[in-house]
Amino acid sequence: MSVRRERLQAEIADIRDRSALRRVVQRADHVFHLAAQVAVTSSVDDPKTDFDINVGGTMNLLEEIRSAPHPPSLIYTSTHKVYGTLHNFILRREGRRYVRTDGDRAGIDENTNLNFHSPYGCSKGAAEQYVLDYSKTYGIRSVVFRMSCIYGPHQFGDEDQGWVAHIMSRAIAGKPITIYGDGCQVRDILFVDDLIDAMLLARQRIGDIAGEAFNIGGGVENTISILEFIDLLSEFNARPHVSFGDWRIGDQKYYVSNVRKFKTVTGWTPRMSVREGIRALYEWLMEAHVAPEFLVRQAS
């Protein structure tokens, strides 16, 4: 289905449909590749579909870019899950979060060994390696973003993806949540506007950074644990009832991006603090155009 407007053409299609990709790629100057099966849990339940979408779909896209008369450049959105569980880190609990005690608190950089864990980690990791190799082998101007937790307006999330928005929307709707693990797991979260800035900078500098992978997240200045996030929700009178479940496959107790590599080559740095970003998401969820019954439905 195509919808035409003066400055926008939307084509709703499946990345596994190579003919649909051909129609759009041949008209593109640049491709932002965000299409994916996004949940670790879904990949464990159905690894074949996860593979078909994340690896097969990405291969479809790469081949259509390669065969285009004027191949567009590409930014591929990968995941920090390609680093695996990072179980070799030495951690301890301090208050309501884990901290590293092995002398390195600058975050995980791109020199960290890849160690795929879960079908999702495998499929995203395999796809990103093809993206990088197509740059080396075929000269496709491509870049990989290994992203941490992205959040912001227009996201609701669920138990498997988008945890910041998921927990907040359930809290607003008065619904309980389940935390898998102990809640002290730490992530660096990145506001969506900062991600868009990074993508646009990468597109502008694609000639200089093609063939590279970058860790993209909020960095050490924007870390929060799940329990700390729930505590913060109390400021909005939206603290949910919490229960706990077992750790899930591929869970990381601690992941914080070291974003120095991308910052060095582009000058990019996250601008939105954790507190400001969470408030912006809360205000968007509470705006009049988001019907309360829709929030309840999303959170149920």
The pLDDT score that the predictor gives to residue 181 is 96
The pLDDT score that the predictor gives to residue 289 is 47
AA letter at 17: D
Q: What is the pLDDT of residues 207-246, one digit of tens each?
A: 999 999 999 999 999 999 999 999 999 998 888 899 999 9
Q: Is the pLDDT at 292 greater than 80, yes or no? A: no
86 and 108 Cβ atoms separated by less than 8 Å: yes
What phi and psi values does residue 157 have, to the nearest 5 degrees?
75, 175
The pLDDT score that the predictor gives to residue 298 is 52
Distance CA 20, CA 261 (A): 35
Q: What is the pLDDT of residues 97-134, one digit of tens each?
A: 999 998 777 899 999 999 999 999 999 999 999 999 99
Mean pLDDT of the chain: 92
Q: Is the pLDDT at 65 greater than 90, yes or no? A: yes
Q: Is the pLDDT at 1 greater than 50, yes or no? A: no
AA letter at 228: E
**How far is C-alpha 138 from the geometric centre of its chain's CA atoms?**
27
pLDDT: which is higher, 4 or 70: 70
> How is the chain split into domains, by residue range?
13-86+93-299
Is residue 288 very low, low, confident or very high in pLDDT (cuts 50, 70, 90)? very low
The least confident of 9-13, 192-196, 198-202, 244-248 is 9-13
Distance CA 38, CA 71 (A): 27
Find the mean pLDDT for residues 192-210. Answer: 97
Q: What is the pLDDT of residues 136-150, one digit of tens each?
A: 999 999 999 999 999
The pLDDT score that the predictor gives to residue 3 is 54
The pLDDT score that the predictor gives to residue 153 is 94
The pLDDT score that the predictor gives to residue 239 is 85
Q: What is the pLDDT of residues 36-56, one digit of tens each?
A: 999 999 999 999 999 999 999
CATH label, 13-86+93-299, candidates 3.40.140.10, 3.40.50.720, 3.40.605.10, 3.20.20.10: 3.40.50.720
Known catalytic residues are 120
224 and 186 Cβ atoms separated by less than 8 Å: yes
Q: Is the pTM of this model over 0.85?
A: yes
Distance CA 2, CA 9 (A): 7
